[in-house]
Structure formats: C-alpha cells, structure tokens
Amino acid sequence: MKVLVSFFAVLVLALVAYAGVEAANLQYLFGVIIPYAAFVTFLAGVVFRILKWGSSPVPFRIPTTCGQQKTLPWIKSSKLENPSGLLGVIARMALEVLFFRSLFRNLRTQLSDGPRLAYGEAKWLWLAGLAFHWSFLIILLRHLRFFMEKVPLPITMIEALDSFLQLGAPLLYMTDVVLLLAVTYLFIRRVGIPQLRYISLINDYFPLFLILGIAVTGVLMRYFFKVDVVGAKMLAMSLISLKPALPEVQIGALFYTHLFLLSVLFAYFPFSKLTHMAGVFLSPTRNMANNSRAKRHVNPWNYPVHVHTYQEYEDDFREKMKGAGLPVEKE
Amino acid sequence: MRLYNGGLIITGIVVFLALATFPFYYNIGKANAKPDIKLEPAIKMSEERYGKKQCVEPKEWIRREHMVLLNHWRDAVVRDENRGYLSTDTGTRFNMSLQNECMQCHSSKKNFCDQCHNYMAVKPFCWDCHIAPTEKEEARS
C-alpha cells in the first residue's frame, strides 16, 4: 500500500510535468518558475534545519566509541574509534561520510534452534549504499557541464572516466548503470525483508521512487528518446545567470519531466530523511570528542540558582537564635 | 534562538551555501557564448549533387541522433564492409563515410562539429581514428 502510494505519487508528478509541457505548453512554469522555487526552498530549508539543530543543546559527551580511550601515555589509545581531539573527530567523520564506516560494521542477527543466537556480517547494504551515493555524487558533478561556460578540466575528467568503457553512442556512463542497480537493490531490500518492510513508511519509499524516476528519465533522454541537449544547456545557463529565457528550440517534454522530478526532490529534501546530508555532520554520537575526563563540560541549560547561604540565614535570624539559646557563628 | 557551537554551525552553513550556489558565481562575468554553426563554405555541395539542401535524414532527427547514426555507420563499414546507406527520409543512397559524405557539406570541423561539442563539453572519439582536417586559422583581430 505504502509502496503503491509512493509509486503512483511519483508517476503522477512525472505525468503532470509531461502533460503540462506537451499539452499545455507550460515550459516556463516547469523550466523556470518551479526550478527556481525548488532551489530557494532547498537552500532556505537546509539552512533552517541546520540552525534548528544548532539551537539544540547537547549537554553531555555522547560519542559512540569502540576503542581504548586516551589515557595514560603508556596505554595505546584508539585515535579513530575513540577520538580525543578535533583531528580525530574530523578523521572519523570523514571516514563516516565518505565510506560509511559505521554501516560497514552492520551485523545480521539470527536466532536458530537451540536456541542459538548468531551474528554474521551483512555488508550488502553498505555496498549498495556506497555505490548509490558515490554514483549520485559523480552524476551530480557530471551535470555541472550544463551549468558552466568553459567546462573546467576536473569535470571533463570525471565525465571521461565515467564513459571510459566507450560503449555505444552516446557513450554509456557507468554511474548510470550502477545507480539504477543500487537503487533497485535498496528498494527490493526494503520490500523483501519483512521486518524492514514493517518499519518502512511512505517517506522511505517516496524518495526511492523519486530518485529512480529522475534516473530513469535521465537515462531515457540520454540513450533512447533524445532531447535537444544544446537547448537544455541554454536553458540551464540562462537560469544560472539569473536571466531566465526559454531557448528557441523545443527541448522535449522528457527533459521537463526530469527537471520537474528533480525540483520536487530539491524542494522535498530539507523536510525529509534526505536531509541526513547535512544531519550526518551534526550527529552528536559522531561529531564529539570523547574528552569528558580531560575537560569539564557544563550543562548549557544550567541556570544560576539563587543560593541562600548559612551566613545569610544566620544574619536573618541571629537575634531569634540567640533568644532560643542556639549557638551562632558570628556574634 | 540560541546557537550552540555557533561558530562551527555558521561555518558549516557558509560552506554549504558556497558549494550549492557554486555554478551561480562561477559563471559571473563569463561571456555566454552560444554555439554558432556556420554551414559555409561547402554546404552548396548538397544542392549541386542532390538538387536541394538536404541531409541524409531530417535535420531535427540528425541533430538528436547523429551520434547513433555515425556509430552505426562505423560498425557497418569497419565490420561488414557495407558502405551503402539508404535514407529513410528521401530514399536517396548515401555513402557511409564521415569524411567523404558528411564533411563534404559540413566541411569545417571547427565551424560545425566543434561548435556544439565544445559548448556541451563533448569529446567524440571520431578523431581518434580519423585524421582531423587541418583548417586555416582565421585571422584574429
């Protein structure tokens, strides 16, 4: 049910854009207004989310550690697993962001007859996740050729490496294949494992289908139903130089579908789980140094408590205390 | 709203905005040069040979699918020694050849092919095997 709702939501979005351009000639809406609105929403939304996270105090050091803490000099400490300073935190975060280190440790738990509990390695999620994210990044960087006048060398190099196999014409990009396979695997995994399907929500399926939709429309218009790429770049360049103008040539409705689904992704991004792009850097269990034995961390929401000391108490009641025969410190 | 570790948060936001809007400021002050295709000097060839200005297939189709066509031609010629191409548009016979057919009309690589390819940063591997035509450098003022 949740799968179908998400699937049809993406399908309807795609059809709206396709029909909007094909039948109603809404090129300006889908090519200029919506992309701008989506991009502004994306920027503002992500900044808002970061500020919101930044305003939440994290009073305690709660890094997850799995190594020896820094202690006496003759005990070897684990700098990556249990970072004690900024450098260790940065190195650990880099490994986490670039290579999903914590996911690499993913385990599968199995209860068999006996009863016997067994743990085993489970690296497929890590592999597919890594393949998906890296492909997506490379595809994103590759697309910069549509947004730059003189395409700089690094971008053309990425593109050349990606089409290294020289299959067909236009050349096949490896990342296109890898991304489609990885997203498909991630989807099959989600519906195939009963426990995982049970905890999956619409906002797990929707981004999957949305990304799949973007990838499929992209693949279709590169390899199968080609659009006018020069026109696409002219539109992109006009958007990026803030002088929006539709090109004279017809780019093709598939392009606008691709762009609209992408706009939906951008606008949806800050309000969904996709915003882990920013959130990963703000994970307290990863971005903190385990230095609570070396440094004192004061709870930021400790407010100044009004303390009434004994001396003040005695000042208030000295005469009465004397009268009752109680001893006082100051006469 | 109070920020904790405000310095780091603001730095992060600045880095994010700088990366996300990179293409916007990268292109500031750069001339927006669109592809400028010149069919001269030899486009008249077509008229002499076939009576009218025509490509092997309709212009719109060629614009989108020429790489597929050329790839197909390459395979047909190199692997099957088949050089005859029957236009699905006009039924005219063409010689499957980049340099002896296409470039007879579109004579200038620089003024024709490169115009869009450079704009799109596409590097077709035609010239890995073919010898690129030497072209006279235009006098630059």
Mean pLDDT over A198-225 rounds to 94
Beta bridge partners of A112: A116
Query: Nearest Cβ partner of B27 from A42, A156, A241?
Result: A241
Mean pLDDT over A162-166 rounds to 90
pLDDT at B139 over 50: no
Confidence at residue B141, expressed as pLDDT on a 0 to 100 scale: 38
* A330 domain-assigned: no
Listed range (A6-10, A23-27, A149-153, B35-39) with the worst mean pLDDT = B35-39
Q: Which residues of A are less than 8 Å from B1 in CB distance? A: 51, 55
Say yes or no for a CB contact (<8 Å) between B121 and A50: no
Beta strands A116-121 and B84-86, pairing class? unpaired
Query: Nearest Cβ partner of B27 from A148, A156, A169?
Result: A148
What end-to-end distance do the CA atoms of chain A give, in Å?
82
Structure tokens at A116: 């016997």
Separation in Å, CA of A108 to nearest CA in chain B? 35
What confidence tens digit (pLDDT) does each residue in B32-85 have?
677 777 666 556 666 666 666 778 888 888 888 899 999 999 999 999 988 888
* A331 domain-assigned: no
Q: Which domain holds residue A113?
A: 2-323
Chain A residues whose C-beta is within 8 A of a chain B C-beta are: 42-43, 46-47, 50-51, 53-58, 144-145, 147-151, 155-156, 159-160, 166, 168-170, 226-230, 233-234, 237, 240-242, 278, 281, 300
* A80 domain-assigned: yes
**Domain segments of chain B: what residues?**
37-124
Q: Which residues of B are less than 8 Å from A149 in CB distance? A: 27, 30-33
DSSP string, B62-99: HHHHHHHHHHHHHHHHHHH---EEE-TTT--EEE--II
Confidence at residue B42, expressed as pLDDT on a 0 to 100 scale: 58
Whole-number Å distance between alpha carbons of A258 and A148:
19
Q: How many A/B residue pairs have CB atoms within 8 Å?
A: 86
Which residue reads 């940063």 in tokens?
B121
pLDDT at B9 over 50: yes
Q: Which residues of B are less than 8 Å from A233 in CB distance? A: 119-120
Buried b (16+ CB within 10 A) or exposed e, B97-127: ebeebbbebbbbbebbbbbbbebbbbeeebe
Mean pLDDT over A11-19 rounds to 94
Say yes or no for a CB contact (<8 Å) between A149 and B30: yes
What confidence tens digit (pLDDT) does each residue in A266-277 have?
999 999 999 999
**Between A13 and B57, the higher pLDDT residue:** A13
3-state secondary structure (DSSP) of residue A236? helix
Q: How high is the ipTM of this complex?
A: 0.86
pLDDT at B28 over 90: no
Note whether B18 contacts A: Cβ–Cβ < 8 A: no
Q: How far is CA A222 from CA A140, A169, A183, B65, in A?
A: 15, 10, 19, 10
Query: How many distinct structural domains can be found in chain A?
Result: 1
CATH number, position A96: 1.20.950.20
- A152 CB-near residues (< 8 Å, 6+ apart): none
pLDDT at B137 over 70: no
Buried b (16+ CB within 10 A) or exposed e, A98-127: eebbbebeeeeeeeeeeeeeeeeeeeebbe
Note whether B125 contacts A: Cβ–Cβ < 8 A: yes
* A329 domain-assigned: no
Mean pLDDT over B94-114 rounds to 83
Confidence at residue B140, expressed as pLDDT on a 0 to 100 scale: 43
* A44 domain-assigned: yes
Mean pLDDT over A209-229 rounds to 93
**Between A97 and B32, the higher pLDDT residue:** A97
